[in-house]
Amino acid sequence: MKKSLFILFLFFVCFACLHRSSDKRGLEAESSTYNNPLLPSGTDPYAIFYNGKYYYMQGTGTDKLAIWETTDITDIKHAKCKDIWTSDNKAYSFNIWGAELHRINNKWYIYFAADDGKLDNHQLYVLENESPDPMKGTFKMKGAIKTNNEWNWGIQATTIVHKGVQYLLWSGWPKRRITTETQCLYIASMSNPWTLKSSRILISKPEYEWERQWVNPDGTRTAYPIYVNESPQFFHSRDNRKILIYYSASGCWTPYNCIGMLTANDNSDLLNPASWTKNPSPVFQQSQENGVYGPGSPCFVTSPDGNEYYILYHARNIPNSDGGPETRSPRIQKIGWDTNGMPVLGKPFSEKTSLSKPSGTF
């Protein structure tokens, strides 16, 4: 009798262990995937991977800038978030857009655009932090970047250090808007992280129809035509022999907001407009069948183990919009490569599609 009870006890112990093991495998399987969007809302998402952690930024709709810190870029909603800077000057307290965090010369720099409450006065600003950890130390204002003598509008700056030279890339106006607004892409070399060395060089303007859409399918529109090239971002071919610039085209309030691409050889003069070739078609655009509209504001990050690359972007799930930031949300998905080693972005995945997390996340 005692022997029978002991065998029965072992059976229940083994069953319980197997059940817990099965539950654990189920939880692991569930946590190895994610679904877009990463957050309910958010515009101009940006992330950098540094020392095993992702540092994420997006529009906050306030006079503050915040950084999210995480080891899992697909789980921003559970990331540590910290307000790291608050504006102390009316000149740059409103409409804070396109903040990006960069590590340059062993210091942290944040580039962002802001104004005094009037959109026509948008300018670029730079913050600096000497701490090795961007979540610590103090971000101090280095000042505005004067992108042209007329102080024309400038937004959504990004930067790259290439062959020992730092470059700034941003979206700006050729001249002040009167009845029509045209946003173009400019590049310049820098003497330090907050000062331009060269004059601004125009490398892209809205010329194709897919870059000049400003009217929604239901007929709603802005008060005047706005043709858009904005949110530029550097990337590269798989062999690093080509430098790529991805950018947003057409109005962000429309479903036609999409992503275009410029290409230059790695050894070319980046300040020469002739070095850059524009792809005649968008490389990433809305997917009506997947219910994703207006994808834009691209950013590229590596997986934790460095074996994969992902595109981070914002999009919406409705075709018509007034452009409000609450209608857009951050999303991320893996990219591929074609036979020539050029990135293949694919198309935006449905919010119902479960995607595998970046390799090395666990």
Q: Where are the domains of the chain?
A: 44-356
**Better-scored residue on pLDDT, 72 or 151:** 72
Residue 124: partners with Cβ closer than 8 Å, 6 or more residues away: 111, 112, 113, 144, 145, 147, 154, 155, 157, 170
pLDDT tens digit sequence for 121-143: 999 999 999 999 999 999 999 99
**pLDDT score for 248:** 98
What's the whole-number mean pLDDT along residues 233-251? 98
**pLDDT score for 178:** 82
pTM across the whole model: 0.91
Confidence bin at 12 (pLDDT 50/70/90): very low
**pLDDT score for 223:** 93
**pLDDT score for 177:** 83
pLDDT tens digit sequence for 253-310: 999 999 999 999 999 999 999 999 999 999 999 999 999 999 999 999 999 999 999 9
**pLDDT score for 176:** 85
Q: Is the pLDDT of residue 68 over 50?
A: yes
pLDDT tens digit sequence for 107-120: 999 999 999 999 89
**pLDDT score for 151:** 83
Residue 350: partners with Cβ closer than 8 Å, 6 or more residues away: 287, 290, 291, 292
Are 274 and 263 a contacting pair, CB within 8 Å? no
- Whether omega for the bond prior to residue 37 falls within 30 degrees of 0, making it cis, is yes
**pLDDT score for 62:** 87
For 40, 86, 110, 236, 327, the CA distances from 264, given in Å and listed in that order, are 36, 38, 26, 9, 34
Letter for the amino acid at 266?
A: D
Average pLDDT, the chain: 92
Confidence bin at 7 (pLDDT 50/70/90): very low
**pLDDT score for 8:** 40
CATH superfamily of 44-356: Glycosyl hydrolase domain; family 43 (2.115.10.20)
Phi, psi for 317 (deg, rounded to 5): -110, 15
Within 10 angstroms of residue 118's Cβ, the number of other Cβ atoms is: 9
**pLDDT score for 266:** 97
